[in-house]
Every structure is written in structure tokens, then in C-alpha cells.
Amino acid sequence: MNYKTDWDDTISWENSICRWDEGIPLGSGRCGCLCWGTPDSLRFSLDRTDIWDKTAQWSPTEAFTYQNMVDLVHKGDEEQIRKIFDAPYYYPTPTKLPAGKILIHFSPLSAHSPVHSHLSLKNACACMHIGNGQTAAALEAWIHAKRHVGIITIAAPPDCFEAELLSPDFGIAGEADTVTCRDKDRQISQGTLRDLKYAPARYGAKLHGPLRLEWFLQEICADFSYGIVMAVETGRTQTRLAWQIISSEDGSCYLEQGKRAVTDALLADPDDLFAEHKDWWHTYWSQSGISLPDARMQKQWYLSNYLFASASRKGSAPMPLQGVWTADDGTLPPWKGDYHHDLNTELSYSHYLKANHLEEGESFLDLLWSLRKRGQDFAKTFYHADGCCLPGVMTIDGQPLGGWGMYSLSPTNQVWIARCFSEHYRYTGSRTFLRDRAYPYLRDTGCFIEDLLVEQADGTLALPISSSPEIHDDTIRAWLTPMSNYDLALIQDLYATLLKLSKELGQDDDTRKWERLLKKLPPLSINEEHVLMLSPDEQLTESHRHLSNAIAISPLGLLSYKNEQDAAIIDACIRDYEKLGTNNWVGYTFPWMSHLYAAAGNGEKAAGMLAVFWDCFCGPNGFHLNGDYKHTGHSDFTYRPFTLEGNMFAADALQEMLFQMKNAEIVLFPAIPTDWARRGVSFATLRGENGLLCSASLFESDRVCWEIYAPQAMTVTVHFKQSQKTRRLDAKETWRDTFS
């Protein structure tokens, strides 16, 4: 194979970083840090995925039920729908919380001295140099990939700076202790940290041999406290700091455990400690790779994978909206830093399977599985149904957070997250996972949807009410004639998957049930121009950020370009989106459109969409900022609330351009630009179905060599342009071949 392992792994900043959402991102999958600021207050904003205030300031009433929602929709009572189902969102809690910060104050240095910074993606290490011309000070920061301990090394005399550990600027319990309810002033960030009233943080310090220990503990409620412990080792020309975010959920001795962790880190050999960290990242980067003639796009793929590993790790909570980088600007995080299931969580975990980063992606499945009982309870109490359904917008422990009811409480969002289990099985082929987790979770979801379906006059089944994220926002028009193509495509996919898996497991009674339900579903609604409609009697007539009417094409893949009728639909949908324009798109919409172009084999436009996304909707650190914050004219949304789903969905779109596999059919380089084909492109160990690993290189537009490893016996067909080859592979067999 001619796969290149060298790639530019450095992200650089020439001047001081003055915004938190442009900070240098570090993360260990559980803890995160943003490095930013000026020399008089160089800031290390610290975060951990499971630091939450779960306090509910709102209590569900008897009116908070799905049946009541159905009744109010049929009455057209928009005001009551908002009052009842959007209500939990009006309050500042529950919410994700920032953990705190470390400030380094370089008093002798001018605040106007620039901070030159760079981030090594390969080593997950940030370096900062302060001064103009001759360097006055240098800092290095990283978070140990296994120990979840942050290290900051300061190369400067100890008398020229101070290190300060600070808790967030919360409000104080007892000061204006009224509940804040913003039902008339709904914002993306629903309040400030001062709206949260807690007992003051308790600080402590002591000497421990050659180290100075400092810490604070912040009580959030009677059941939950967290804090940060920092150890400092001072030398004549170098000072080393170690920090760890601790939580009462770590055990009763969490403060002592934190002290021991930071102490052990500083007393360990520095080279050995960093070697442990680098080894983890070396293993991670060896799991897959790409080589493109477009160096900028190649770097963005690696940057997206860096952000993914930094924000998601098995054994830790999965990434919420902002991963491990909660806002550090005095406000509550955008959309409370929660878990949105009408797109965000699913797209955030869309690329990891093909990128061969299984463990990092499994954290989301582990959370969903741990909340299965919570989902079963919510299905009963809210929907009065059997099976399992988590709220479409939820806290880390599965409680409803409210929001526009047609989406935050849409039952089909449960179908989308359940699909994450079947996709994990499809890409791993693990029969144990299928038997013990995937099928039980999908079956729970299938039974839940079955309880909601109502027979129509024509004998087909439909939900009693339907919507399509986020069409018509939160108005009464958002309730579409059942069923929307969004709801219908998800339910079709669910029952088709359950039918297939029940046959694999020999569950004959289930097979008959899923087959019966699947046959009673109506077809997707398509207009006379072959465009997928929003619903049976409405089509998309304006530019919109959520391409929910086309979910059957991507990411569900229910339509295939190999089928002439499906191809006509895919082409028609693409033309329709092109006609409607991008003025109401946000960042993630561009990768979604890239997926549609990739499905149609249009590499030029697929790459073009990704270029717009990465150039215009991502910050210098790679963060997806949702809006066209540079005002380039690609969207009327020019705000900049940071979320991560666009990053991962863009990485997935690029992978789809290079390698596709479904039903044992592999397509190599199905949608790449002509220039890439001419100059050469390759990828290494991208994952396909049943754990298959594929590497391939394309030379001079039409010469391809590939290597396929099959961990279990399977028959596969490899396609490139008009050529194809089929072979039966034994377990653990490697197939090397070419098209020329």
C-alpha cells in the first residue's frame, strides 16, 4: 500500500486568543481544557462531562402527557402546547456546568504582548510562547490520556508569575434566591452562572513535601459536589502544575483521591509520564488514516478525530453538545450543554465506526443502555406506552429538559438513537452485542412505537401527530399531517432492521410481528417532481437548516443510487435544495448536503460543501460554531453557539466520499473530485461491515490497489467505477488486489 503516514499535525495561533470558543482544546475524553487569554491573565478553562446541576425547578403536571399533546394539537392550541411542554427549558437548571479555571498572571509582561501558540494533534499537547521577538516565557499544557490529570509546565522564573485556582462565578445561596423563569425571554444560553445559587466554594491549601496543594470544593446540592485539586512544584527556572477535576460521584474519598492523583503525577518521572500519554494517542492515530492532495481538508479530518477522542472515551460520559469544553464567558452553556436527540447526538456519533474508533464511540451506547430503565419509565409515564423512549432533549441522567415539544418530545427521536445500536452491530458483527444489547434495545423501541401507531382509513399505520425537525419552529404549523417523511423513514428503518435481526436470532414470533408492522406502513411521500416531501400534503418551500425530509437518503440510506427510481429521487432532492438556497442553513447542514452529493457520486460538490463548512462555520480551533460568523454570505445565521455534531458529520461525509459499504458491496472512491483522482488519494483501515478493515490507494485517476482484512468469513464485492470483483474470504483472511 502507498498510504502516507505523514500529515501536518500542528494548529497555530499567531496572536493572543481572546475568546473562549477559539481556545486551544485539550481533552482526555472525561476532562477538558481550553487555553486562551493574554499574559496578564492566561486562562485554562477546565471542564468535565459529568459536572451537572440536575436540580429540576419545574415539576410535571397531569397535563404533561403525550395524549394531552395530541389533544392540544388537534385543537390547534399553540399557547398551551408551549406553556406545558416547553416549560422545563424556561429555568436555568438542569444544566451542564463549567468546572472552574486556572489563571496564570505574568505581572512583569505587558498585557499587550502576544501569545504565540500551537497545538500538536499527534501528541495532544499545547505550547504557548509569550513575548515579541525574544521569548519572555513558555508554557506547555496537556491532559494525560489515561490518568485524566492535566499538566501545565511554565518555563519562567517563579517570581514573574502567579497561578490562581478559581471556581466558577456562581450566585450565592440566599442572595435574591427567587427561581429564575424566562418563559418570555427564551435564549440559546438560558441565563448566566449568577442565576445559579450555591453555597460559596470552600478553598483549601497545604504543603505536601516539595509540593504545594490547593483545591476548592463546590457543593451543588445535598447529593452532589465537585471540585478541582491543583499541585504546584516550583523550581528556579521551571514550575510544574498538575490538576484534576474531582466529583462526589467518584466515591466518598474523592478529595483525597484527587490529591493523590496530582501528587503522583508531579512526583513521577516527567518523561515517563508524557510517554504514557503519547502512547495512548499513538495507538489511537494508528487505527485509521487518510491521505489527500488537499492538505487543508486532510488536516480537518484529523482535527475532527482529535476533537472526538478528546471529548469521548469509554468509561466516561459521552459528549454533550459542547463536549468537554463548556462555555467560559459567564453564561450558561448554549442549549444548557445537553443531549439533543433530534440530530446532535446522532451526528456526533456518526463517523466513529468507519474511522475505526470503536471504544471512543461506545460511551454513547453505554449511556443509552444505562438509561434503559429510565426510558422504559418515561415511555409509561409520558406516552402511556410499553417499551423504551428517552426524552428527545435530556439531561445526563435522562430527565426531560423541555424545549419545543414537537421535537424535544418526538417519539421517533428514540428510533434514531436506537439505530446507533444496530449500526454498531453492522460495523462490528459482534453476535454477543447483537444478542445482549442491540436487539433488546431495538425491540424495546419497536414495541414502544407499535403502541403509538394508529390505523388510518386506508389501513396503513401512522402516529397520531407528526413533525419534522425543525420545520416551522415551535408554531402550530410544525405539526404536519401524519406522517412526516422524517417520522416515517425512521419507523420504516426501525422495523426493517428488526425484521432482519430477528431472523438472524431465530426470533420467529418477533419476525412475524415486525413484518406485519412494516407492511402496514405507508410509502414515503414524493411529489410529482420526485422530491421527498415534508409530509403527505406539504413540501419544503424555503431554505431550512435541518434536511429532515431527506433523512431516508442520509443518514438512513434507505434509498440507493444504484436503483434507477431511487436515483431520480436523490437527484430531485439535491436540485430542490440547490434551488431553495443556503440562507437558512447552519453549519451542520453543509456536511449533510455533502452526504447527499456523496450518495449521488458527485465528488466535486461533496468536497465543496465540506470546504464551505470548514472555512466559514468552524473557528480556528476547529469548533463548529453553527453560524456564518465570518459573514461570508453563505447563511443569514451569523451567530456562533458552539456544538460538535457538525465536526463529526463532516468527517463522516469525507469518509463516504472515499469508501462506502452496504450489504457486502464495497465501493472505493465513489465520490471524489477529479483533481484528487489525478493527483492520488488513499486511506488506511477504514472499517466496514462485520468488522472488515479496508485500505486503498488511487493513482492517476484509474489505477486502484486495495487490501481488505476480514475478521470473520464473508463474501464481498469490490466496485470501482465500472469494474468489480467478488471473493469469498475466510475468517482472518487478507485480500490484496488491484483495478488498473
Residue type, 269: D
Distance between CA atoms of residues 372 and 366, nearest Å: 10
Lowest mean pLDDT among 68-72, 190-194, 210-214: 190-194
Spatial distance between the Cα atoms of 185 and 83, rounded to a whole number of angstroms: 13
- The helix/strand/coil state of 230 is strand
CA distance 528 to 505: 41
CA 413 to chain centre: 15
- Cα distance between residue 338 and residue 643, in whole Å: 10
According to the model, what pLDDT value does residue 189 have? 78
506-535 pLDDT tens trace: 999 999 999 999 999 999 999 999 999 999
Non-local CB neighbours of 185 within 8 Å, separated by 6+ positions = none
The three cell numbers of residue 646 are: 457538525
In this structure, which amino acid lies at residue 678? R
pLDDT at 1 exceeding the cut of 70:
no
User: pLDDT (tens digit, 9 = 90+) per residue, 7-52?
Assistant: 889 999 999 999 999 999 999 999 999 999 999 999 999 999 999 9
**What letter does residue 350 receive in the DSSP assignment?**
S
- Name 413's Cβ contacts closer than 8 Å, sequence gap at least 6: 341, 342, 392, 407
Q: How many other β-carbons are positioned within 10 Å of the β-carbon of residue 131?
A: 17
Q: What is the pLDDT averaged over residues 448-467?
A: 98
Residue 541 pLDDT class (50, 70, 90 cuts): very high
672 CA to centre of own chain: 25
Alpha carbon 215 to its chain's center? 31
pLDDT for the residue 200: 97
Give the pLDDT confidence score for residue 4 in this predicted structure: 55
Question: Is the separation of the CB atoms in 95 and 396 below 8 Å?
Answer: no
Q: Can you tell me which residue has the cell 514550575?
A: 239
Pairing mode of beta strands 100-105, 41-48: antiparallel
pLDDT category at 236 given cuts 50, 70, 90 is confident
Q: How far apart are CA 508 and CA 505, in angstroms?
A: 9
In angstroms, the Cα distances linking 337 to 48, 101, 346, 393, 574 are 12, 18, 15, 11, 32
Residue 42 pLDDT: 96
* Segment among 58-62, 114-118, 523-527 with least mean pLDDT: 58-62
pLDDT in tens, 105-115: 998 766 678 99
Task: Indicate the helix (H) or strand (E) that contains 728.
Answer: strand 723-729
Q: What 3-state class would DSSP assign to 440? A: helix
Nearest-angstrom CA–CA distance, 733 and 60: 57
Separation of alpha carbons 407 and 97, rounded Å: 24
Rounded to whole angstroms, how far apart are CA atoms 371 and 348?
A: 19
Q: How far apart, in whole angstroms, are the C-alpha atoms of residue 409 and residue 401?
A: 10
Instruction: Give dist(CA 658, CA 291) in Å, integer.
Output: 10
DSSP state of 17: B
Q: Residue 639: pLDDT above 80?
A: yes
**End-to-end Cα distance, the chain:** 15
pTM: 0.97
Mean pLDDT of the chain: 95
Q: Provide the pLDDT confidence category of residue 181 given band limits of 50, 70 and 90.
A: low
Q: Is 728 in contact with 715 (CB distance < 8 Å)?
A: yes
Nearest to 266 by CA among 278, 255, 274, 256: 274
Which residues lie closer than 8 Å to 302 by C-beta, 6 or more apart? 7, 9, 121
Question: Nine-digit cell at 60?
Answer: 410535571
CB atoms within 10 A of CB 340: 25
- The CA distance from 213 to 262, in Å, is 9
pLDDT digits (tens, 9 = 90+) for 122-144: 999 999 999 865 558 999 999 99
Span 249-276, pLDDT tens digits: 999 999 999 999 999 999 999 999 999 9
* Whole-number pLDDT of residue 131: 81
Give pLDDT tens digits for 674-728. Answer: 999 999 999 999 999 999 999 999 998 899 999 999 999 999 999 999 999 999 9
Q: Are 728 and 701 in contact (CB under 8 A)?
A: no
pLDDT exceeds 80 at position 178 = no
Name 682's Cβ contacts closer than 8 Å, sequence gap at least 6.
1, 2, 3, 4, 290, 291, 695, 696, 697, 698
Q: How far is C-alpha 264 from the chain's CA centre? A: 33
**What confidence tier does 191 reach under pLDDT thresholds 50, 70, 90?**
confident
CA distance 538 to 526: 10
Per-residue CA distances from 439 to 432, 495, 501 (Å): 10, 12, 7
How much is the average pLDDT of 291-311? 97
DSSP tally for the chain: helices H, then strands E = 19, 31
Count Cβ neighbours within 10 Å for each residue of 274-297 and write b for 16 or more, e otherwise: beebbebbeebbebbbbbbebeeb
Element at 142 (helix H, strand E): strand 137-143
Predicted local confidence at residue 388, as pLDDT: 98
pLDDT digits (tens, 9 = 90+) for 145-175: 999 999 999 999 998 899 999 999 999 987 7
Q: What number is the average pLDDT over the span 462-474?
A: 97
